[in-house]
Amino acid sequence: MIVPMRKYVFLVHPADYGGFLEELRASGVLHVQQKKDLPPQEEISEQERRLKDVESALKLVGSRKKEKETLIAETAALGYTGPEMARRIWAVQEELENTRQQLQILNKELNSLAPWGEFSLETLQQITQAGWECSFFTCPVRKFQQEWETNNCLFIINQVPPDAYFVILHQPGERPELDAEQLPPPQHDPVSVRASVKEVEAHIAALEQTLDHFAANLGVLEAVKADLQEHTDREQVIRHTGDAAEGAVMVLEGFVPRPVEDQLKAAFANRPIVFWPENPTPEDHPPVLLKNGRFAKFFEPISKLFALPSYGELDLTPFFAPFFMLFFGFCLGDAGYGVVILVGTLLYRSRASAELKPFLTLAHFLGAATILFGILTGTVFGINLLQADYAWLGNARTIMIDSKQAFNLALVLGLIQTLFGLAIQAVNRARQYSLAYGLPPLGWIILLLSLLDIGLLKLVVPYSSWTAWGGVALIVFFSMPKGNILSRVGKGLWDLYGITGFFGDLLSYVRLFALGISSAILGFVINDIALQMKGIMPVLGPILFVLFLIVGHGANLLISSLGSFVHPMRLTFVEFYKNAGFEGGGKAYEPFASRKKQQNKNIQNV
C-alpha cells in the first residue's frame, strides 16, 4: 500500500531559518516540495563536486578486501583527511592503470624475444664492433631453404612450429636477399626485460596494497560523504525555499507520512514558527512511500525496477506478488532445483548482511514455489516421475499433470491474472474519480467471461450472449464518461477494437509452459549424457558421471533461473500492469534527514 501523506507549509523568519533547518533535519520526516519554476543550475557547487569525487573514490575501493586489524592503523598514520584520501585514491588508481599498461607492453616484448632464446645485448654490440652486422629473420619451416646456410653465415636459433627463427652475419651494407621476413633487431635482452617485469609487478603490488589500506578505512570516506551530502541537501532545501512579504518570511512546503506527523509537530510545538497541515491535491504530486505486509514487502524491489505508482493509485506489489512467485515456480518447474534454492539460501542467510537478507527471503518464496510446481509436473533434477516406473510413488501421481494439462494451466493462470488486473483497474478508477470511470473495466470482465462461456465452457449459454452485450454497452458508453454522446460512443468503439490485445496477452502466458518444458528437457539431456559417461570406464566413468551431473545441473539451474525471473517480470510489467491501468510516475519519499546518523552503522562495520 501507499502510505498517506500530509502536506505542511512553514513560515519562518529569515533570522531563525538556519536553526529551523537543523531541527527539521533532526526530525528527519519532511520530504521537501521542489519548486517547479526554478531555473536549471548552470554549474554544480564546490560541495557537490567534492561529493562526486568522494563517491567515485568509494566505488573504486568499496569492493576491495578490508583487513581492518593490519591496515587501518597504517593508513591512519598517513594522516589523510577524507577529501585528500579521495584525491589520493584517484591518483593511485590512475598510476595503477598506467603501470598495468606498462606491464602489458613488457610482457608483449618478452613474448617477442622468447623465440631468440637467452642472449645479451653486449654480445650483439661486440659483433658490431668486430665489423659484422647481425640480421634477424623468420619464415615458415617448410619454406626454409638449405642453400641459405651454404651461401650465408646463418645460424638457426629456434623452431617454434610452424616458424623458424635464424640470424645471418654479414658485412655492413651487404644485406642478404631471402624469401623470409626480416625482423627488427631487439632493443633489449630477455634478462633486462624480465628484471623490468619484476620491478613493475612489485610496483603494482605496492599500489594494490595502498588501495587495500584505503579500503580498510572506508569509514573516513563514508563520514566525509555523509557530511558533504548534508551540506548538499541543505543547499537544495534552501534553493527550493520561497519567500513572502518582500523577503521578510521564508516559506517551505513539504510532505510528511501521516503515521509520523506527530513527530514533526512535537519538534516545532514550542518554536516561534508558523506551520499548518493540509491534505495534498493531485497537482501537488506527493511523494510515494510503500508499506506492505510481511509477504509483499519482499517483492518491492521488483516493483521498483519498473516505476513507482503515482500517489493517487494503488500499489500493485501485493497484487502481483503471489502471481510472480507462482510464475517463477512454473518456469523453473523442477522440485530438485527448488530444494537447492531453498536450502542454499537458508544456509547462507546466517552469514549474509542485513541488506541482503530480504533478497534471500524472496529467494525462499521462489524456491518453495519451484518445489510446488516441480511436484505438480513430476520433475526432479530432470527426472520425469510421470514416465518413470516408481512403485513408491503410489497414488501421488494422481496430483501430477502432463504437458497438455500444464499448457492449459498456463492459460488459466493468464486468464485469472488478466481478469484480476481489470478488477483492480475498476476499483482504482472508481476510487480515484467516480463509479462511472470504473464501469469500462467491469464491462471487459463481463465480456471476456461471457465469450469464454460461449466458446468453451457453455455453462449458461442462453444468458452469456446477453451478458456479453451488456459488457459491450458498458465499454462503449462509459469509456469516456464526460463528453457528448458521439464522442463517448466513438471512444468506446475504438476501445472495443482492443479486444484483440486481450487474446495476445493471454497467449503471452504460454511462455510459462514453454520455459518449464525447456528446463525439464535440458535436465533430462544432462542426465542422459551423464549416464553414457558412467559406462565409459569402470573407475573414471562414475567420477565423470557425478562431475557432469553437478556441473550440468548447476549451469541449467543458473540459466533457467534467469529466464524464470525475467519472463514473469515481463508478464507483470507489460500484461498485468496494463490491464490494471497502472500509470506510474511517482517519486520516492526522501526526507530531509541527517546523513551522518545513517552512516554510523557503516562506519562501525568498517
Q: Which residue is it, cell 557503516? A: 602
Confidence of residue 594 (pLDDT cuts 50, 70, 90): confident
Going from N- to C-terminal start, the domains of the chain cover 5-45+231-281, 120-185, 296-396+512-579, 406-416+431-507
Q: What pLDDT is stored for residue 207 in this prediction?
A: 87
Q: In this structure, what DSSP letter does residue 18 have?
A: H
Residue 298 has pLDDT above 60, yes or no: yes
Q: How far, in Å, CA of 503 to CA of 531, rounded?
A: 43
The answer, yes or no, to whether residue 605 has pLDDT greater than 70, is no
E strands in 161-230:
163-170, 181-183
Contacts of 602 (CB under 8 A, 6+ apart): 218, 219, 222
Residue 603: per-residue pLDDT: 36
Highest mean pLDDT among 89-98, 300-309, 363-372, 471-480: 363-372
pLDDT tens digit sequence for 215-241? 776 777 777 777 777 888 888 888 888
Residue 606 has pLDDT above 50, yes or no: no
pLDDT tens for 566-575 read 999 999 999 9
**Residue 529 CB-density burial (10 A; 0-12 exposed, 13-18 middle, 19+ buried):** middle
pLDDT of residue 72: 44
Better-predicted residue by pLDDT, 344 or 282: 344
Strands 274-278 and 242-244, how do they pair?
A: unpaired
Q: Decide if pLDDT at 343 tops 80.
A: yes
Name the average pLDDT for the chain: 86
Q: Is the pLDDT of residue 67 over 70?
A: no
Q: Residue 73: what pLDDT?
A: 43
| Report for 60-69, 141-150, 264-273: range of highest mean pLDDT | 141-150
Q: Residue 47's pLDDT band (boundaries 50, 70, 90)? A: low
Q: How many residues make up the chain in this entry?
A: 606
Q: What is the CATH number of domain 5-45+231-281?
A: 3.30.70.2170
The pLDDT value given to residue 79:
53
Cell of 304: 521498483
Model pLDDT for residues 406-426, shown as the tens digit of each residue: 999 999 999 999 999 999 999
Cα-Cα-Cα-Cα torsion 548, 553, 554, 557, nearest 10 degrees, comes to 160
Q: What pLDDT, on the 0 to 100 scale, is given for residue 597?
A: 62
pLDDT at 466 over 50: yes
> Mapping DSSP to helix (H, G, I), strand (E, B) and coil, where does residue 182 land?
strand
> Residue 82's pLDDT is what?
60
pLDDT band at residue 65, thresholds of 50, 70 and 90?
low
Confidence of residue 43 (pLDDT cuts 50, 70, 90): low
- Please give the Cα distance from 598 to 606 (Å, whole number): 14
- What is the per-residue pLDDT across 512-534, written as a single tens digit (0 to 9) for each? 999 999 999 999 999 999 999 88
Q: Decide if pLDDT at 440 tops 70.
A: yes
Q: What integer pLDDT is reported at residue 75 of this predicted model?
A: 46
Give the model's pLDDT for residue 85: 73
Neighbouring C-beta atoms of residue 153, cutoff 10 Å: 13
Query: Residues of the chain with pLDDT > 90: what percent?
Result: 45
Long-range contacts of 466-472 (CB under 8 A, 24+ apart): 470/443, 470/446, 471/443, 471/444, 471/445, 471/446, 471/447, 472/443, 472/447, 472/496
What CA–CA distances, in Å, run from 88 to 81, 82, 158, 220? 10, 10, 48, 13
At 178-209, the pLDDT tens digits run: 889 999 888 898 999 999 999 999 999 988 88
Q: Lowest mean pLDDT: which of 47-56, 351-360, 494-503?
A: 47-56
Q: What percentage of the chain reaches a pLDDT higher than 70?
A: 91
Least confident of 13-27, 76-90, 164-178, 377-391: 76-90
Residue with cell 544456509: 347
